[in-house]
Structure 1
Amino acid sequence: MAMATSKATQSSRVARQWVDDQVSLEPIRNETVAVLGYGIQGNAQANNLRDSGINVIVGLRKGKSYEQAVKDGHDVRSVSDAVKAADIIMVLIPDMEQARVYKEEIEPYLKDGKALCFAHGAAIHWRWIVPPNGVDVFMVAPKAPGQRLRELYLENFGTPALVAVEQDATGRAWDRCLAVAKGIGCTRAGVIETTFKEEVETDWFGEQVNLCGGAHSLILAAFETLIEAGYRPEVAYFECLHELKLIVDLIQRYGITGMYARVSETARYGGLTRGPYVIDASVKARMKEVLKDIQEGRFAEEWVSIYKKEGKNAFEKYMRALEEHEIEKVGKRIRSMIWRE
């Protein structure tokens, strides 16, 4: 069996990085920050900023999130009223809703000197939103779900983040950007410079080819291979899905070589020799096709078009197919043995 090999090239560009003692909250100490949205990320960022001593208001429509924000002690207003009162507007609503909300409830109340802060680069990079010239535009993108961002903040630590400035209208955009990153706790771990373009293209690529799409497709293919060979589904589930978290945890903490140093010699040899055979040059070639679709805007156009027609139902047929797959049925039984809630 011929084994595939690969060679990665190292980028010569070194990104700027900042840690907590290099950053000050003073640039936003006397400013009002409006957090628009109170989902998992909005909830965490609003609470972290408030606990850092920043003046926070939350912009929401009436509903469960509104009630929760009030219960959490926030000054909660309509989106437009929050924008009117704020110096910095943090847009933490879903990507596909941002353009409409911006047009209807943000843009009419923007004035020179205000700032727009995003947690993801899509709306600005793909020009779903085009801010006026007099407004700062920057991004603070925590590299963890909101729940983890909040947990680590309460433990006096933080999650890393990517930061970028797209438009520096005031000459203070970087100071404001880094102050927001400090306020939500990210500089405790460290923040790294990027661009809106780089963040969105790499984020979507990772989601599609390995973190979500690639991982789930690899799991299903491995599970199906064992089932089709006559192995019990419960055993296949453990080997192809359940134990994946154990390996990912090792990789996250110790790196890939550190993971291999902590598994059995058989797993080490088998993984090192067979892994590149399964995920070979043909897979990498298709990854490049996916990346090109993202870079050239085709995926963005497709997603916007589908969302306009179908809204949140755009992925329901795919979800239903997954729910009906045997791995999900056996998984429910296995998970009920492990997770007692």
Structure 2
Amino acid sequence: MKIYYDNDADLSYLKGKKIAIIGYGIQGRGQALCLRDSGLDVVVSEMAGTPNFEQAKKDGFNPVSAAEAAAQADVIQILTQDHVQAKVYTEAIKPNLKKGKVLVFSHGFNIRFKQIKPPKNIDVIMIAPKGPGALVRRMYEEGKGVPCLVAVHQDASGNALKIALAYAKGIKGTTAGVIETTFAEETETDLFGEQAVLCGGVSELIKAGFDTLVEAGYQPEIAYFEVLHELKLITDLIQERGISGMRRGVSNTACYGDLSRGPRIITQKTRKEMKKILKEIVKGKFAKEWIGENVAGRPNFDRLLKEGDEHLIEKVGKQLREMMPWMKK
């Protein structure tokens, strides 16, 4: 594993260049503000009339269209959502690319699955902070950084990695450490993590636990507390200390239940299904399905989301969260 730090990065590779941030969402805002505060020249693109457009103006930017930003910039960072990146690229960025420009991503989906096919005479790089944009910004303001991933897809200039590391330094990623990877590795592991563990796995495990308790006659409110509300305590411990640290941070009863019963929940059958999900990702089956879903107007996405919204755990949770003033903004 190769990790880069401040001494490995030189901001001069971005001096005199204009950086376009396409999309002023949470990640776009965080990166744009950090890059500007690092003394770099930043132009922001966002759709007029949106809350993000107004936020960009409040932050001192003069947001322009994606096409205008791409035309002005030497370095173009695409931070719109995955399913709209190809359209933005085709309509606004591609016509404004020329030899020597740099295309930047923070997630490799559209390159890995060939929804975006850049010309050969530009650099194509990735800097992916391993945290949300708000955290990137907060750590920057504290003089710290969020660990990042770096990858080079095309090195037309011969300096693509140096430019990528300069970008990482501009958001203080090199303060924490920047791990070298590939577009394929970042994309495939990211999708797998979301589907099998972080989102798909966890949410389905929560609902299964809730349903098991309710069907056994326990109050839904008690079930909610035990399988959903207290999850934050555990995930916080895991994030701070690792799994072993979490086990030493809970009661011995809970720890023994973890060690002795966990493998009965995540069985060999579950692990086999995880391997199947990973295979679908690597072979492009999921990407093809998701791209087709968007083309069709998201019928399955909307149906599945609605079904999830109607689960009893959502009704119970909404009522219980009203009892928790710390949850309210």
So what's the TM-score if we normalise by structure 1? 0.93
**How many Å separate the matches in 1 of 2:114 and 2:183?**
11
- Give the match for residue 301 of structure 1: 288
3-state secondary structure, aligned to 1:310: coil
Deviations 1:31-72 (A, max 9, x none): 110000111111111111111111000122312222221221
User: 1:283 is matched with which residue?
Assistant: 270
C-alpha contact (below 8 Å) 2:293/2:301 kept by paired residues: no
In 2: Cα distance, 1:241 partner to 1:69 partner: 36
Aligned counterpart for 1:326 among listed residues 301, 309, 312: 312
Cα 1:314–1:87, aligned 2, differ >3 Å: closer, same or farther? farther
What's the offset of the Cα at 1:172? 1.0
Q: Aligned-pair distance for 1:21?
A: 3.4
Equivalent residues in 2 for 1:94-173, closer than 5 Å: 94-173=81-160
Output the CA distance in 2 between the equivalents of 1:314 and 1:174. 40
Structure 2 counterparts to residues 1-341 of structure 1, below 5 A: 15-64=1-50, 65-311=52-298, 314-338=300-324, 339-341=327-329
Question: 1:263 and 1:155 mapped to 2: Cα distance?
Answer: 31
Contact 1:157-1:189 at 8 Å conserved across structures: yes
* Cα distance in 2, alignment partners of residues 243 and 67 from structure 1: 37
Shift of 1:314: 5.0
> How far apart in 2 are the matches of 1:188 and 1:246?
28
Task: Please give the per-residue CA displacement for 1:112-163, whole angstroms capped at 9, x wherever unaligned.
Answer: 1100000100111111111111100000111111122222222221211111
SS of residue in 1 equivalent to 2:296 = helix
> Judging changes above 3 Å, is the alpha-carbon distance between structure 1 residues 95 and 314 closer, same or farther for their aligned structure 2 residues?
farther
**What is the distance in 2 between the residues matched to 1:27 and 1:334?**
52
Deviation by residue 1:297-316 (Cα, 9 ceiling, x = unmatched)? 111111111110115x6522
Moved more, 140-149 or 166-175: 140-149
Partner letter of residue 211 of structure 1? L
Deviation track 1:68-113 (CA, whole Å, cap 9, x = no partner) reads: 2122111322211111111100011111111111111111111111
In the alignment of these two chains, the number of paired residues is 326
Structure 2 residues without counterparts, runs of 5 or longer = none
Deviates more, 1:30-39 or 1:154-163: 154-163
Aligned partners of 1:18 and 1:190 also within 8 Å: yes
Tell me the CA shift for residue 186 of structure 1: 1.6
Matched with 1:9 is: none
SS in 1 for 2:218: coil
Contact 2:17–2:41, Cα closer than 8 Å, also in 1: yes
Give the whole-Å Cα distance in 1 for the aligned partners of 2:151 and 2:141. Answer: 25
Q: What amino acid is aligned across from residue 280 of structure 2 in structure 1?
A: D
Aligned amino acid, residue 71 of structure 2: K
CA contact (8 A) 2:8 2:165 kept: no
Q: Distance in 2 between matches of 1:227 and 1:324?
A: 16
CA RMSD of aligned residues (A): 1.2
- % identical aligned pairs: 50
In 1, Cα distance between equivalents of 2:133 and 2:171: 10
CA contact (8 A) 2:145 2:174 kept: yes
Confirm or deny: 8 A CA contact 2:123 2:155 kept in the other structure. Answer: yes
- TM-score normalised by the chain length of structure 2: 0.96
Per mean C-alpha deviation after superposition, the further-off stretch among 68-77 and 45-54 is: 68-77
Contact kept? 1:111, 1:134, Cα under 8 Å: yes
Does the aligned pair in 2 maintain the 1:166–1:196 contact within 8 Å?
yes
Distance 1:148 1:227 in 2: 37
